[in-house]
Structure 1
Amino acid sequence: RVEDWQKYLQPHPIVGRLIQRLVWLELDNNGQIVNSFRPTEDGSLITNQDDEILLDQNHFITVAHSALLSSDDTAKWQAHLKDYKVNPLFEQFGALLSDMSKFKDGIIDDRLGWLTDSFTLRDVLKKLGYERDNSEDGGYFYSYYKYFNSLNIYINIEFSGSMLPEEKIPAVLYNLYFSNKKGFKDSAIALDKLPKVLLAEGYANYMAVANASSGFDPNWKDKLIW
């Protein structure tokens, strides 16, 4: 709520400084964006055009994200933060929401066949907060996941597999999907039913693995160990 944000966050001696390094959204009671803004040192709230605004006490506030704003607004905020030499508290505008209509059954697989190794894949996903899935018979596992308790949603990223104890072996990236139960690909959540920010960030994580790989290998099936 705007009232709580202005009472507990904005005037706080520590948090009040941190929130100046983020862009925020004012939402009406229907969840529609009214304004995007950033707090300044003097307590003003300014837009990416440097216009000062006032907040409606009956509205709500959430953190801005590129998946919630137009590409034009995102570009303007990036320019604004750069012009004001603001060091963002965390990245808000790096994960773009791509066209997801091309994917079926909630499975994102446009980086299927991109070749890397088990250690590189593990290191990228561990840094992003993912955990190794349970191992199957013989000590093999085939995915990493990240769980969001407040949403009861898992992000699952599958690959060709590794074994325990782990060794550095070729690894092929497979797919990304979201589920209410870990590893239930057959019941993947439809992409248009997911929160936009979660979808964008999950896809960015999938792309992070692809970007750390050597790229698509047309002979990827021949690189599988089992």
Structure 2
Amino acid sequence: MFGLALIALGALLPTDPGFFPIEMAAAAPAELTLPPLGYDYDALEPHIDEATMRVHHLGHHAGYTAKTNAAMAKLAEADPALAAEGIDSVLTKLDKVPAALRGPLRNAGGGYVNHALFWSIMAPGKGGKPEGAVLTAIESAFGSYDAFKAEFDGLAGGLFGSGWVWLYADKTSGTPVLKVCSTPNQDTPAMEAGKTPILGLDLWEHAFYLRYQNKKASYIEAWWNVVNWEEVARRFAAASA
């Protein structure tokens, strides 16, 4: 009886070899959520004020999160396989993204991942100098910690317009080497293969203007007091693995 039932079912199905009774849908990318700070909004006082942190996190980063999700949903319609790789991978393959989505994903997606890093490499009661492997790598690359900081501060103070300054691990030649650079807008070194940012400073005016107004140099110097070198070291170890 079971065999006769299968034969009867087969007679009802189309004979076109391209027909599939069940359509296999590509997996949609997981929707991003706003990453938590990991500390209270006033925890970085007096160096970064509570009002700035609330606007920065609940306004700007939340906005990047929503816009990235919207753009990724559209990418999932155009290229499901690429979208399924997630925003970090998509940012390294912007040349494969449809032209209409390239700008939104570069700007909002970059803003999303940059701020997720930014919150994590800051913490209350931190600052000072790094230790261990990351300090050794800094001294090897720049000669000394003070020389590194001077180069980083010089890029930050000289950046025209909105953007970021980074310390990143460059593995393009094999062994990771620490380098610094600046990027415009929400670009990140991670958009290039073999480059992993481990420390980043947000130099958009919304990151400092409520407290420091046009005194950008004061913001840059104050920011070093909240750098979480333990997280930077963790990121460096991961990049070096």
> Normalising by structure 1, what TM-score?
0.26
More strand by share: 1
Q: Which of these two proteins has the greater Rg computed from alpha carbons?
A: 2
By relative contact order (CA 8 Å, sep 6+), the higher-ranking structure is: 2
* Larger proportion of helix: 2
